[in-house]
Chain A
Amino acid sequence: GAGVSQSPSNKVTEKGKDVELRCDPISGHTALYWYRQSLGQGLEFLIYFQGNSAPDKSGLPSDRFSAERTGGSVSTLTIQRTQQEDSAVYLCASSFSRGSETQYFGPGTRLLVL
């Protein structure tokens, strides 16, 4: 079946603008995660959704970042008033149920804030 998909694949924006990044998880996966990867760095956890439970937002770096997951499937990560330090690859992953099961990653959205 299809893997995790993300859109757009690349996004260039100006400082101060808002951006929305989309993730379509693998069908049937109830857990969805967002990570951020800065140039040459490892992956940094941002937020986790599991079914209808309240999301774990502990990794969001500031209140400019938010995410939602509609209908238990598609998720949108929104960054308001983007800053240059927000430039990174934003990766989405999904797993069947919880974090201790294999997480499958999408190709990422490469965000560049000018």
Chain B
Amino acid sequence: GESVGLHLPTLSVQEGDNSIINCAYSNSASDYFIWYKQESGKGPQFIIDIRSNMDKRQGQRVTVLLNKTVKHLSLQIAATQPGDSAVYFCAETLEYGNKLVFGAGTILRVKS
């Protein structure tokens, strides 16, 4: 989802459950999408990416789904762990673009 200012959407999940974080991206011409994880006091950390010629990509415990028809991106985290607690950002860019456009972010809280 989208939000403004300090009111980031928050997803609370129980440890071991699966998490799904959603993102609506803005530019239908975007070709490359990335999910970043940002822990408190740190810079964003790359999680997984996907290009527009794919609709699904899997990594270790994470899956990214891309729906270009509705400009929607999602990040699925399997068996969520306390260490997954962070703010998650989606980002988009053009294939030969020179900057990332970031979404507002979603806070993921994992309850033990």
Contact = CB atoms under 8 A, between A and B. Distances in A.
B99 A59 contact: yes
- Among the interface residues B6, B44, B101, which one has the most CB atoms of the partner chain A within 10 A? B44
B99 A33 contact: yes
Nearest to B103: A42
Interface in A59-114: 59, 91, 93, 98-100, 102-108
B99 A40 contact: no
Nearest to A49: B98
B79 interface: no
Interface residues of A, number: 27
B35 to A, nearest CB: 11
Interface residues of B, number: 30
Interface of B: 5-8, 31-32, 34, 36, 41-46, 49, 89, 91, 93-105
17 contacts: A31-B98, A33-B98, A33-B99, A40-B8, A41-B105, A42-B104, A43-B91, A48-B98, A59-B99, A91-B44, A93-B43, A98-B98, A99-B100, A100-B32, A100-B97, A102-B34, A107-B43
Interface of A: 4, 31, 33, 35, 39-45, 48, 50, 56, 59, 91, 93, 98-100, 102-108
